């Protein structure tokens, strides 16, 4: 006869009085944040904001973290903004992003706990080249602050830093980037302090790459008018360098070699201009009251000979100067 089976009283599963779970509303909100952070590209953008100086970054810096197209980058940032993870602010031409104040510390703690190996592998101090660039930019800021006493130190610093960021995106000759930044920032600060009532006419030429047509048009204006007209050029998507054949022609027209480099389009250049002339770059310029806009249908250097482009621009520039500077003698040029 088998031994009797010992029976135990039925255990009832009852939650302890002090146990609780996250409220559904909180869980839904947190799930949205975690889902947004689950994409590697977005996680890299957020980690960059956590470790970047000042806790913010330009949209162009965030775009360089990934190998995806600009529309995809914009989509990622839109998702992060929708979930309240980041906020943005437009400053002139560029949009800057930062973590929202309420989420900055929680996100930082999350990354620190879940990815310590990754975070400790990221240098907490600048590398030698970056440190050198940062110190060089400080010297540029100090020098331009003295040269432009009517501008606040904050404006000078922001202009120099933004100029460096804009040029570094496409510059092919990195060894001259600091000197190019100084020239570009000096030009921008001059434009910021321009007095339309007393200044000579100012013209801005804009094309896509600022590597051909706009550079040549600006050189022709300076060649014919000298100091009687201030001329600028810029690109809506600047190239890394001016076309080699165009650079030679610019030198023949008297453009200093140090000034032959593509420059990004900025709001201050548009606001300082009396006339903005675009060439094939579409509707990219801010509309500023009092500024005259023209579109010149000049052939692209990739589709026409440089001689024909120069002849077309020469005719147009002469007509423009006859309007801006009545009495200017162009007969011997």
- Give the pLDDT of residue 143: 95
CA distances to 65, 203, 292, 294 from 285, rounded to whole Å, are 27, 14, 12, 11
- Give the pLDDT of residue 147: 95
User: pLDDT means per 10 residues in the chain (333 residues)?
Assistant: 57 56 76 81 80 73 63 79 87 78 77 53 46 79 95 94 85 74 95 89 93 95 94 90 89 87 91 93 75 90 84 95 89 62
Half-sphere exposure of 148 (CA within 13 A, CB side): 25
- Give the pLDDT of residue 7: 58
- Give the pLDDT of residue 8: 57
- Give the pLDDT of residue 3: 58
Nearest to 262 by CA among 189, 191, 211: 211
- Give the pLDDT of residue 315: 95
- Give the pLDDT of residue 11: 58
Domains and CATH numbers, the chain: 29-121 (1.10.10.10), 126-193 (1.10.8.1060), 197-333 (3.40.50.2300)
- Give the pLDDT of residue 124: 45
The residues facing 99 across adjacent strands are: 86
| pTM of the shown model | 0.62
């Amino acid at each position: 006869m088998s031994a009797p089976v010992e029976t135990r009283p039925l255990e009832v599963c009852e939650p302890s009085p002090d146990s609780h779970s996250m409220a559904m509303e909180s869980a839904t909100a947190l799930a949205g944040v975690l889902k947004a952070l689950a994409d590697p590209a977005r996680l890299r953008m957020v980690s960059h904001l956590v470790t970047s100086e000042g806790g913010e970054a330009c949209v162009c810096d965030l775009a360089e973290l990934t190998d995806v197209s600009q529309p995809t980058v914009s989509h990622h940032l839109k998702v992060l903004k929708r979930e309240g993870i980041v906020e943005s602010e437009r400053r002139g031409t560029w949009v800057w992003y930062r973590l929202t104040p309420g989420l900055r510390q929680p996100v930082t703690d999350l990354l620190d706990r879940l990815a310590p190996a990754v975070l400790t592998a990221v240098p907490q101090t600048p590398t030698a080249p970056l440190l050198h660039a940062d110190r060089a930019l400080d010297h540029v800021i100090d020098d331009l602050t003295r040269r432009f006493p009517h501008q606040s130190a904050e404006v000078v610093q922001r202009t120099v830093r933004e100029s460096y960021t804009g040029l570094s995106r496409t510059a092919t000759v990195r060894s001259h980037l600091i000197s190019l930044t100084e020239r570009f920032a000096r030009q921008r600060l001059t434009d910021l302090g321009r007095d339309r009532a007393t200044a000579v006419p100012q013209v801005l030429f804009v094309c896509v790459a600022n590597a051909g047509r706009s550079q040549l048009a600006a050189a022709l204006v300076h060649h014919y008018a000298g100091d009687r007209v201030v001329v600028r050029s810029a690109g809506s998507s600047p190239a890394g360098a001016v076309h080699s054949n165009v650079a030679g022609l610019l030198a023949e027209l008297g453009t200093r070699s140090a000034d032959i480099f593509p420059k990004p389009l900025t709001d201050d250049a548009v606001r300082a201009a009396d006339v903005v002339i675009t060439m094939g770059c579409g509707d990219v310029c801010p509309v500023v009251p009092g500024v005259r806009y023209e579109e010149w249908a000049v052939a692209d250097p990739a589709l026409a000979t440089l001689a024909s482009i120069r002849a077309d621009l020469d005719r147009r520039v002469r007509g423009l100067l006859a309007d801006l500077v009545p009495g200017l003698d162009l007969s011997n040029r």
